[in-house]
């Protein structure tokens, strides 16, 4: 493992490895982080492992419990409501700004992403739909070009990723999500900031309902 990690701080690569396991549910929500076992598996001391855990704790993916150690964060209903409330404000603003700032290439790229989203939905390919959906949102946020907002949204979406994909498998949610993305895209293509903001907020509100 040391050769792979040579060009980066050790704890950053360890954080990446743990993050992948958490998102794949190899380390499931509520799971205890066994530092001794992981350090042995990675062939490292516990110091960089603990630094990696601090990084993931700052992102909200790991929760530190007094005298009990570190655990993969469990996202409850109250957490979801708080996260979606903040995302609605921030991503709504991002969509609003993107409608004003988008260049023709940006709009063409979003249109292309949406076509691929339509195909993934038609194929009932939930994994692909989820990944394209993530990129669609990320592109809108990138167009808005507000680094502070981007950073906060990224951390919140990492926590949402602990459970988000499952909601797409619920009856009717895939098509509803697709329809909501159509409205967002339509507003962006019209360069209508108010409509884009509202469409994004509606999309996130319905996402919260589906996550129940």
Q: How confident is the model at residue 3 (pLDDT cuts 50, 70, 90)?
A: very low
CATH number assigned to the domain comprising residue 34: 1.10.10.10
- Under DSSP, is residue 2 helix (H, G, I), strand (E, B) or coil? helix
pLDDT tens-digit map of 71-108: 999 988 898 999 999 999 999 999 999 999 999 999 99
Residue 168 has pLDDT above 50, yes or no: yes
- In degrees, rounded to 5, the angle at the alpha carbon of residue 135 between the alpha carbons of residues 131 and 138 is 140
Domain extent for 25: 2-72
Torsion of CA 107, 206, 121, 157, to 10 degrees: 70
Return all residues near 83 (Cβ < 8 A) that are at least 6 apart. 75, 156, 159, 160
The pLDDT tens digits for 37-71 are: 999 999 999 999 999 999 999 999 999 998 899 99
134 and 64 share one domain: no
Measure Cα distances from 154 to 54, 93, 143, 157 in Å. 17, 15, 15, 5
Number of domains, the chain: 2
Determine the number of helices (DSSP H) and then strands (DSSP E) in the chain. 10, 2
CA pair distance 17, 28, nearest whole angstrom:
14
């Amino acid at each position: 493992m040391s050769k792979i990690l040579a060009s980066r701080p050790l704890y950053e690569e360890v954080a990446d490895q743990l993050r992948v396991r958490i998102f794949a549910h190899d380390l499931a929500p509520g799971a205890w982080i066994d530092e001794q076992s992981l350090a042995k598996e990675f062939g490292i001391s516990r110091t960089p492992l603990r630094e990696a855990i601090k990084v993931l704790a700052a992102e909200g993916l790991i929760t530190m419990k007094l005298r009990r150690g570190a655990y993969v964060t469990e996202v409850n209903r109250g957490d979801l409501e708080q996260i979606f409330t903040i995302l609605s404000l921030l991503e709504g603003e991002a969509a609003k700004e993107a409608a004003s700032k988008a260049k023709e290439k940006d709009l063409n790229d979003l249109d292309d992403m949406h076509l691929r989203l339509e195909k993934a939905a038609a194929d009932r390919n939930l994994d692909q739909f989820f990944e394209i959906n993530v990129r669609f949102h990320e592109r809108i946020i990138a167009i808005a070009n507000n680094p502070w907002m981007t950073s906060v949204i990224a951390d919140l979406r990492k926590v949402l990723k602990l459970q988000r994909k499952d909601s797409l498998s619920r009856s009717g949610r895939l098509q509803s999500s697709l329809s909501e993305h159509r409205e967002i895209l339509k507003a962006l293509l019209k360069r209508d900031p108010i409509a884009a903001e509202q469409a994004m907020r509606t999309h996130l509100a319905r996402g919260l309902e589906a996550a129940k």
